[in-house]
Homo-oligomer: A and B are copies of this chain.
């Protein structure tokens, strides 16, 4: 993509009420734009990150044959009345009346709808176990939306639902999603910690959240022992045994845990999984006829806050100049910065390099703008693409160009031949 035809509205400053680093950097790099309180547009650079995240999540779910569906955003209030959540959900639920004065809601989550769909499409006990996922906008009418897409009202969530016939199978499904989540967050370049959690509104008694440790995070978790040398690699991710015990502070409080030797840490919650059994299948009358009699299937639900992930990643990976994307979800793999777009030789070299890199299946952003060198460097550092290829006066005088690693500042001056090979080896060195 050439920047000359890419809408990249970078800003030097942001309004003073922007408190969180990731919020500031997402606005300044032209990733998002607030339309009204807690409601955002994803601009081209931001949407590219979102789509990379979506693609990883979809691929990993499909590997496990989890059925991909798309439920609507608007739901009938009726199913929420049947599950007794229409009133209990509280003011965060956006209630709507249609032209015929019928009660609708904007879905904040989909347990009810999924249960009704399950009862319609799962015909026989032979179809179990079966699970579904979808990626869709959700709405929760937060009393005080803040921190950009970190606590938005309209947000994008991946939610999945499992159906089983026995408690043992439900635990297997839960474990499958638990491990899928560790795998997904690893692929997203995030060091995630599974945290014992309360189920809250959704119900059930088996529940984990997935957090990244982050000083500016709004959540709090307890970790047993000393946190000075937390090494996420040492946390045993098997949820049946563990080296550290980690729980939300809410959980510790509710369970009246003795937290004397625990360390309290700030974190960001990115996922939450629940096993709530027959709570919804009973209330919504989903019954399966089995050789052992009629059974209300047992369910679990599994959510990832997709639109919060870019913010969490930035919160952890940034410096004074801007964002530092992990390769996995970077909007582009590399950026070509032509410092002399009006020089015929620099233009020709940059243009050809751009085409070559595209044909090698790199996702390339190409700064072909007629702009000041300072603007090009500061924009490039701000948007945080992992590798910068800089073409300027040294190309003309010495036949050399520069490759730079955004994360550690490592620079390499290379001769301008067999460039692809050298770029590949520079990238490989970073692994």
Contact A69 to B40, CB < 8 A, known contacts A7-B130, A99-B141: no
A139 touches B74 (CB 8 A): yes
A71 touches B41 (CB 8 A): yes
Per-residue CB contact flags for chain A residues 368-408 toward chain B (1 = under 8 Å, else 0) read: 00000000000000000000000000000000000000000
A35 touches B67 (CB 8 A): no
Name the interface residues of A46-68: CB closer than 8 Å to any CB of B.
47-48, 50, 65, 67-68
Determine which of B2, B47, B72, B102 lies in contact with A40 in the assembled complex, contact meaning CB atoms within 8 Å. Answer: B72
- Check: A247 CB closer than 8 A to any chain B CB: no
Residues on the B chain within 8 Å of A104, using CB: 36
A43 touches B69 (CB 8 A): yes
Where the two chains meet, the residues of A that have a C-beta atom closer than 8 Å to any C-beta of B are: 1-2, 5-7, 9, 30, 33, 35-37, 39-44, 47-48, 50, 65, 67-76, 78, 91-92, 94, 96, 98-99, 102, 104, 106, 113, 116-117, 120-123, 127, 130, 132, 137, 139, 141, 143, 153-154
B36 touches A78 (CB 8 A): yes
A41-B113, A44-B67, A98-B153 given; name 10 further pairs at CB < 8 Å: A5-B65, A7-B121, A7-B130, A35-B75, A36-B76, A37-B102, A41-B70, A50-B70, A73-B137, A74-B139
Contact A91 to B96, CB < 8 A, known contacts A41-B117, A78-B36, A137-B72: no
Would you call the interface of chain A mostly helix, strand, loop, or mixed?
Answer: mixed
* CB nearest neighbor in B for A78: B36
Copies held by the complex: 2
B121 touches A72 (CB 8 A): no
Bound-state CA distance A5–B132 (Å) is 11
Contact A76 to B121, CB < 8 A, known contacts A42-B69, A141-B98: no
Contact A73 to B73, CB < 8 A, known contacts A33-B120, A98-B141, A99-B141: yes
* CB nearest neighbor in B for A76: B36
Determine which of B39, B44, B69, B130 lies in contact with A41 in the assembled complex, contact meaning CB atoms within 8 Å. Answer: B69
* CB nearest neighbor in B for A127: B7
A35 touches B65 (CB 8 A): no
- Enumerate the 8 nearest inter-chain pairs by beta-carbon distance, A residue then B residue, closest first: A36-B76, A9-B121, A5-B65, A42-B70, A7-B67, A91-B99, A72-B154, A39-B72
Residues on the B chain within 8 Å of A154, using CB: 72-74
B99 touches A96 (CB 8 A): no
A69 touches B44 (CB 8 A): yes
Residues on the B chain within 8 Å of A71, using CB: 35, 41
A66 to chain B, nearest CB (A): 9
